């Protein structure tokens, strides 16, 4: 069709042809893919400084600020909510629907077309096998039927004019819909993604030990009501041996709904808490500025008398079964000693927490020293009594990543449908088979013709194996 004929088409027809174009599908898919790569490299809704550091590695220190301003103006800092990205998704969805509808009628005709017997002089087929087997056509009928059944086709019978018979049948005609099932799954996944983008939530919550919050915060700091409250009962960092490398973060969380505790869970990396459609991931931790926490100490006196006490800096405790009084004089979140044996704090984080305690009996100081949480040998006192530094509670916060994605189940459904569609599209085919069995002296001539819309090689191998079994059986 020349350009003049195209111009004479009604506008709606030209619009339909535009969206039915495979070339448009390729262009849109490429744009979405490139945009998604950029949106992955550039952290969405992150502080400007963080993304500028990333851009410095890609384009250099001098160009990074200008590149950031360009990307920000283009909406790449919140790309998945931008009007142009959603427009690309909508155009791709329309293109996919129109392409499917354009080709679907022809596929449906092929699916509904009944299989009919062929004339014996029918032209060559993509798959054609000829062999001679001892026995008359009637003697071979059951065995030939087994061959057709092994191929996966239910056979019908038609007599031939010159004697003998023809078996024919088809199967898997509905497998032609595999590509359309896959198209449907893509649309469902896109719908789920859009639901998540516009009706979901992605934010954070820095929750100190002992505190409760009924809101989380978006990346821009806007509070987002949860509809319930979350309390951090405790937080703990586990290290590798005596190193400074964190091994695991754990948060003891409690969910409170209508004033009642409804759920408790210890979360860690890859072990989130899920409630009310929200998921709370363990993502970070830190120290609460100017916090005065509570020291949890486990005391063991003579006769293994044990007591757990909760004290603050400057308070005292008594070792059970004795007159010895401990005075909590100092604290360090990360204690170390220089070459001269002088103590110092090397970080504000609780990497190596220690408490300095003076022990008195009456007015006399018996001994004093640092008790380190991570070094059990410092828990035993010179007189054999024991003070275990269990925790310094109330000075850390747990950093939670909070997500709500109401479209996730739609996406999961789309993925399941896609798996089905891909299996049908790649591993199943529309098979049609005709078998002619005619008398030729004391033998029978068997001619097998077959077609398949895909996986022709697999069908041919199956046919060859079935015919070999037939020959061996005779």
Give the CA angle between residues 124, 125, 126 to the nearest 5°: 130
366-397 residues labelled b (16+ CB within 10 A) or e (exposed):
eeeebbbbeeeebbebeeebbbbbebbbbbbb
Asked if residue 46 lies in contact with residue 219, where contact means CB atoms within 8 angstroms, the answer is yes
- DSSP per-residue letters across 378-389: GSB-TTS-EEEE
Report pLDDT for 472. Answer: 79
Across the strands, what pairs with 370?
356
Q: What is each CA distance from 170 to 111, 137, 389, in whole angstroms?
A: 10, 22, 78
Instruction: State how far Cα 127 lies from the chain centre.
Output: 43
128-181, pLDDT tens digit by residue?
Answer: 999 999 888 998 999 999 999 999 999 999 888 878 999 999 999 999 999 999
Report pLDDT for 322. Answer: 94
Asked if residue 266 lies in contact with residue 252, where contact means CB atoms within 8 angstroms, the answer is yes
Report pLDDT for 240. Answer: 87
60 CB-side CA count, 13 A: 2
Q: What is each CA distance from 420 to 101, 108, 325, 345, 408, in whole angstroms?
A: 20, 19, 72, 60, 19
245-270, pLDDT tens digit by residue?
Answer: 888 889 999 999 999 999 999 999 88
End-to-end CA distance of the chain: 59
Asked if residue 444 lies in contact with residue 140, where contact means CB atoms within 8 angstroms, the answer is yes
Domains of the chain: 3-110 (no CATH), 114-172+429-473 (3.30.310.80), 197-288+397-417 (no CATH), 294-393 (no CATH)
Q: How far apart are CA 358 and CA 367, in angstroms?
A: 6
E strands, 10-79, in order: none
Q: How far apart are CA 295 and CA 135, in angstroms?
A: 96
Asked if residue 393 lies in contact with residue 355, where contact means CB atoms within 8 angstroms, the answer is no
The token duo for 250 is 């754990």
Q: Which regions in the chain score pLDDT beneath 70?
A: 1-7, 120-123, 473-474
According to the 3-state scheme, what is the secondary structure of 117-133? CCCCCCCCCCEEEEEEE
Find all residues with CB under 8 Å of 442, minimum gap 6, and list them.
Answer: 134
Nearest of 472, 447, 452 to residue 462 by alpha carbon: 452
Nearest of 297, 318, 292, 320 to residue 309 by alpha carbon: 297
Nearest of 43, 355, 340, 82 to residue 219 by alpha carbon: 43
Run of H or E including 32? helix 22-41
Report pLDDT for 461. Answer: 92
Sign for the CA dihedral angle at 310, 313, 316, 318 comes to: positive
Q: How far apart are CA 274 and CA 260, in angstroms?
A: 17
E strands, 135-277, in order: 156-159, 165-171, 201-208, 212-218, 223-239, 246-257, 260-268, 273-275
- DSSP summary character for residue 173: G
């Amino acid at each position: 069709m020349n350009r003049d004929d195209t111009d004479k088409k009604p506008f709606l027809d030209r619009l339909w042809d535009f969206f039915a174009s495979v070339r448009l599908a390729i262009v849109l898919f490429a744009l979405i893919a490139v945009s998604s790569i950029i949106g992955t490299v550039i952290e969405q809704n992150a502080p400007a400084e963080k993304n500028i550091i990333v851009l410095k590695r890609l384009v250099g220190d001098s160009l990074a600020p200008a590149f950031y301003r360009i990307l920000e103006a283009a909406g790449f800092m919140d790309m998945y909510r931008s009007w142009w990205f959603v427009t690309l998704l909508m155009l791709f969805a329309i293109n996919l629907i129109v392409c499917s509808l354009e080709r679907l009628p022809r596929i449906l005709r092929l699916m509904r077309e009944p299989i009919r017997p062929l004339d014996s002089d029918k032209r060559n087929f993509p798959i054609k096998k000829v062999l001679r087997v001892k026995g008359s056509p009637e003697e071979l009928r059951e065995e030939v039927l087994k061959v057709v059944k092994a191929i996966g086709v239910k056979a019908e019978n038609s007599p031939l004019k010159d004697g003998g018979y023809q078996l024919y049948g088809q199967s898997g005609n509905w497998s032609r819909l595999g590509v359309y099932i896959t198209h449907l799954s893509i649309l469902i996944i896109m719908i789920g993604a859009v639901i998540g983008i516009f009706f979901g939530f992605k934010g954070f919550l820095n929750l100190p030990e002992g505190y409760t919050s009924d809101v989380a915060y978006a990346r821009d700091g806007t509070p987002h009501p949860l509809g319930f409250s979350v309390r951090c009962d405790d937080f703990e960092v586990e290290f590798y041996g005596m190193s400074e490398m964190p091994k695991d973060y754990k948060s003891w969380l409690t969910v409170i709904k209508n004033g009642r505790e409804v759920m408790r869970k210890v979360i860690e990396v890859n072990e989130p808490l899920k409630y009310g459609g929200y998921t709370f991931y363990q993502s970070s931790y830190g120290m609460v500025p100017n916090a005065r926490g509570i020291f949890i100490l486990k005391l063991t006196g003579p006769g293994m008398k044990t007591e757990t006490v909760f004290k603050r800096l400057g308070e005292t405790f008594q070792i059970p079964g004795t007159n010895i009084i401990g005075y909590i004089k100092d604290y360090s979140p990360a204690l170390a000693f220089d070459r001269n044996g002088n103590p110092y704090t090397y970080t504000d984080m609780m990497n190596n927490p220690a408490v300095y305690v003076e022990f008195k009996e009456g007015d006399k100081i018996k001994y004093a020293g640092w008790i380190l949480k991570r070094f059990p040998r410092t828990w035993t006192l010179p007189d054999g009594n024991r003070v275990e530094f269990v925790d310094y509670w109330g000075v850390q916060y747990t950093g939670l990543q909070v997500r709500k994605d109401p479209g996730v189940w739609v996406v999961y459904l789309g993925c399941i449908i896609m798996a089905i569609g891909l299996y049908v599209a790649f591993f199943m085919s529309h098979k049609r088979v005709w078998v002619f069995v005619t008398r030729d002296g004391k033998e029978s001539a068997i001619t097998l013709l077959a077609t398949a819309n895909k996986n022709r090689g697999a069908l041919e191998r199956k046919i060859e194996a079935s015919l070999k079994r037939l020959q061996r059986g005779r």
